[in-house]
Amino acid sequence: MPEVFIPILYALMAAAFFGGQVVLTMRSFTYVDPQTGSMISMGTCVLVFWSLAPFMLRAHYFGNPGMWVFLANGLIHPLFSMYLAFEATKRMGATISATISAIAPLFAAAGAVLFLGENMTYALLMGTLGTVAGIMVLAWRQQGPSNWSLWSLLFPIGAAIIRGTNHNVAKFGLQLLPSPYFASLVSFTVSFIGAVLIYRFRVGSLMLKLPRGGLMWSGLAGISIAAGVLCMYSALYSPDEKFFVTASGDGFAMVIFGACAQR
């Protein structure tokens, strides 16, 4: 396979995994709320990443400045982006929330042009404009659940902003420390610790006995997210981010899977 297609392949794989987790997340809401579900999914991701440590973790990673970039990134993503995305899915349905969240490449492209020196291509411009047009149609027609208010748009848009910012922060960190695995490990470990602390603060105590269905569906969603994140960071490791921003139309896959979830 030509090397130029490798980041596109990683991006498409990430889209498939992120799209699949929407179905699993929708199932989990029968048993748990979005905050609990996101905490379980993050914890599952952390278990997956640490289980790979004997094979992929290197001691010298901890002395690299890139570690601090990944750590700072974990204070926001996926700590808040995952919760916002889960909340949007519950309130608005998988199809609408996933489509609106698909504007993340718009923010990623803007950041890449402004801070990473990327060039705005015609394909990238048309792709982002097409996504925005689709969002306007969905918001106007209110397809899917019709009982959501316009302020609910803040949840998927907020998730998209954080994810788009994460693309550029992760890209910068990977230039310092070229390990998609370590980027995932550090960011998700920090986010999971933050999610547990926030849950403890808001609820007052940690649930030691979680519904079996919630553990199963949220855990499966976490496995899908972990695979998607590894593919996404592998795509970001490409020298040219525009391949990732253009190809990572995970909103398209998420809309397809989301529509299936609502049937």
Three-state secondary structure of the chain: CCHHHHHHHHHHHHHHHHHHHHHHHHHHCCCCCHHHHHHHHHHHHHHHHHHCHHHHCCHHHHHCCHHHHHHHHHCCCCHHHHHHHHHHHHHHCHHHHHHHHCCHHHHHHHHHHHHCCCCCCHHHHHHHHHHHHHHHHHHHHCCCCCCCCHHHHHHHHHHHHHHHHHHHHHHHHHHHCCCHHHHHHHHHHHHHHHHHHHHHHHHCCCCCCCCHHHHHHHHHHHHHHHHHHHHHHHHHCCCCHHHHHHHCCHHHHHHHHHHHHCC
- pLDDT (0 to 100) of residue 247: 42
Within 10 angstroms of residue 61's Cβ, the number of other Cβ atoms is: 18
Is cis: bond before 156, omega within 30 of 0?
Answer: no
- pLDDT (0 to 100) of residue 40: 94
Domain count, the chain: 1
Encode the chain (263 residues) as per-residue pLDDT tens digits: 667 677 778 878 888 898 788 889 889 999 999 989 999 999 999 999 999 999 999 999 999 999 999 999 999 988 888 889 888 888 887 667 767 776 666 666 666 666 556 666 666 667 666 666 665 565 555 555 556 777 888 888 888 888 888 878 888 899 899 999 999 999 999 999 999 998 888 777 777 678 999 999 999 999 999 999 998 888 877 655 554 554 444 554 554 455 454 45
**195 and 84 in contact (C-beta within 8 Å)?**
no
- pLDDT (0 to 100) of residue 22: 82
194 residue type, one letter: G
**166 and 76 in contact (C-beta within 8 Å)?**
yes
Task: Kindly report the pTM of this predicted structure.
Answer: 0.78
Structural domain of residue 233, as residue ranges?
3-261
**235 and 247 in contact (C-beta within 8 Å)?**
yes
